[in-house]
Amino acid sequence: MKKTIPAILLMLLLASCNGWVIQPGNSNPPTPFLPPTQTPSIFTATPVVINVASATPQIATSTAIPFITATFVPTLIPSDTPVITQTSAPIGPSVSVEVLGCNTSIDVTHGMGEVTNAFVVVRNTGGVDLTNLMVTLNALDEGREHPDKTVEVVSLLVGYKVTLKLTVDSTYKQDTPIQIEVAGDAGLFQRVGADSCKDIGIFAPNPDSLNTPVPNNP
């Protein structure tokens, strides 16, 4: 017992040196809980490259086109070369017929009663001279054939006209439809008719101007 007391005192003395009355155990203190640390992301300023189809620049080149001035070279026509002027007249034979009007009379010379006289103008509208034209008057109510029913024009030049008086035997005091027929060496030209030939009255052509071709004035 006496040995035990000094041992206890020694232990207390040693413990007082550390300032601990009771020495802490040998176990390591618990490590405080720390949340897991994340490795910080490192952002580098790397430029983002977008693939853009590169187009080869087109260099527009303009080729200067020289201005060309048209030069008209006059064509000289020798003086001995005839110049042909084309006219509106047809090349072949052609005629036109105009009925001026009619009147009636009594033909005692040929033993006829009333006769109808038609005054017509025949024009050469073609491109050739006409020969041996036969101009004939026909009537719907015609009786006996009158000697002046047909008149012959021996020659009618291009651009000429002739005024004729044709006569047929007709019915007394009745309207007389008539028809004018023109034929010649070139054949039948045309027929021109009138349902009722108008009275020409005082405008009948001068008898001295009949059957004579004259220029066809415009």
Please report whether residue 69 resides in a domain.
no
Contact of 182 with 133, CB cutoff 8 Å = yes
How many structural domains compose the chain? 1
What is the Cα–Cα distance from 191 to 183, expressed in whole angstroms?
9
Query: How is residue 77 written in tokens?
Result: 């026509």
pLDDT digits (tens, 9 = 90+) for 87-97: 555 588 999 99
Quickly state the pLDDT bin for 189 (edges 50, 70, 90).
Answer: confident
- Strand order of the β-sheet with 214-215 is 95-106, 114-124, 160-169, 214-215
Exposed e or buried b per residue across 91-102, where buried means at least 16 C-beta atoms within 10 angstroms of its C-beta: eebbbbbebbbb
* 139, part of any domain: yes
- For residue 22, being part of any structural domain is answered with no
| pLDDT (mean) for 136-156 | 93
Whether residue 58 is predicted with pLDDT greater than 90 in this model: the reply is: no
Q: Does 131 map to a domain?
A: yes
- Tell me the whole-structure pTM to 2 decimals: 0.57
pLDDT, position 177: 87
The reply to whether 186 falls in a domain is yes
- At 179, which CATH number? 2.60.40.10
